[in-house]
Amino acid sequence: MIVDVYQFFKHHPRYNKLVGDDYLFVEYKCPLNVEKFKLWTESHLITFVISGQKDWITPQKTYELKSGDALFVRKGVYTTRQHFEEDYCVMLFFMTDDFIKKFLLDNENFVRKIDAQENFNPVFEIHSNPSFQSLMESIFHYLSQSGNIPQNLVELKFQELLFNIALNPRNKELLHFFNSVNKSVKREIEDVMIKNFQYDLKLEDFAKLCGRSLSSFKRDFKTYFDTTPSKWLSNRRLEHAKTLLLGSDLSISEICFESGFKNASHFNRAFKSKYALPPNQFKSAHSG
């Protein structure tokens, strides 16, 4: 099971948090018995480590975070690995595309021209400075207070966080990503689907990643790709499975799950329907 961390923290009564329309702050202390698990988030997030150590694992790179480190994590699916030497405490800042768009609309000096075809990494290291560290400390104190914090103060702190990131020249690549959230609907959906097709997510989850209701997601998908999301996913997963069959030493069972299929029998039937042979025979016929 892949945990939707945004919904988990938003609705869980245990954690200190501040909630707005397009953002969410959370203070999270991870129990030591949690090791390695897979999660997904429908909103982008910034993670700032107060104490302890945790790894964020992507296909491109493993990011080893310790006290004082921060990452910007794009909405999508990730694996994390917990270290056990010290209690892990972190602040999480979830934000929607709309919050980033509004920030840029209100602060045109941060608007940049970008290549419409530019591809961005799923994770960005945030380069901090003394003002960033001081801001984190002040937000941590607000989260630790009892009682209600005025929402306009919460939003100001969130905007201050984005200002701090955008004003640091070393975060130039992340600022470019902020500007990319205004990309076309077609490109946005395509990016989400290509990045996450191999994970066992529901159509409702893909819709959330695209910032849409399920009905509007299906409608937009049909408009731009002339097929349904379900058919697109099945075809893409089968093509990926074919690539793994011919180019790796993975077992049929491993290829099944690496390609996003829930069980081997469904995978075998779908593969045979598309390629006329079941996976094991297909591999034998095309080997050597």
Residues 61 and 43 grouped into a single domain: yes
Specify whether 276 is located in the same domain as 189: yes
Average pLDDT for the chain: 89
- Same structural domain for residues 258 and 137? no
One domain, residues 166 and 263: no
Q: What is the CATH number of the domain that holds 234?
A: 1.10.10.60
Distance CA(121)–CA(247), nearest Å, equals 25
Q: What is the pLDDT of residue 77?
A: 93
The predicted model gives 219-229 an average pLDDT of 95
CATH of the domain at 119: 2.60.120.280
Residues 163 and 193 in one domain: no
State which of 180, 197, 214 marks the end of a domain.
180
> What percent of the chain stands above pLDDT 90?
61
| Higher pLDDT among residues 222 and 59, named by residue | 222
Residue pLDDT, tens place only, 206-216: 999 998 999 99
Same domain, 45 and 111: yes
Percent of the chain at pLDDT above 70?
95
Minimum mean pLDDT range among 20-29, 184-193, 223-232 = 20-29
- pLDDT recorded at residue 36: 76
pLDDT of residue 21: 78
Regarding whether 265 and 197 lie in a shared domain, the answer is yes
Per-residue pLDDT, averaged over 234-263, amounts to 93
Least confident of 77-86, 124-133, 164-173, 275-284: 77-86
Could you list the residue range(s) of the whole structural domain that residue 154 is in?
3-180
Picking from 180, 211, 227, the residue at the C-terminal end of a domain is: 180
Residue range 31-72, pLDDT digits in tens: 655 667 889 999 999 999 999 999 999 888 999 999 999 999
Q: Which of 108-117, 195-204, 255-264 has the lowest mean pLDDT?
A: 108-117
Buried b (16+ CB within 10 A) or exposed e, 225-252: eeeebeebbbebbbebbbebbeeeeeeb
Q: Is 12:74 a contact under the CB 8 Å cutoff?
A: no
Tokens of 185: 């609907």
Q: Tell me which range, 80-89, 142-151, 210-219, is most confidently predicted by mean pLDDT.
A: 210-219
**What's the total number of domains in the chain?**
2
Q: Residues 28, 149: one domain?
A: yes
Same domain, 51 and 159: yes
Is the per-residue pLDDT at 100 higher than 90? yes
Q: What is the pTM of this model?
A: 0.85
**Domain termination residue (choose one: 165, 180, 195):** 180
**Tokens describing residue 131:** 């003002």
What pLDDT is stored for residue 132 in this prediction?
A: 94
158 and 80 co-located in one domain? yes
175 and 50 assigned to the same domain: yes
Same domain, 81 and 166: yes
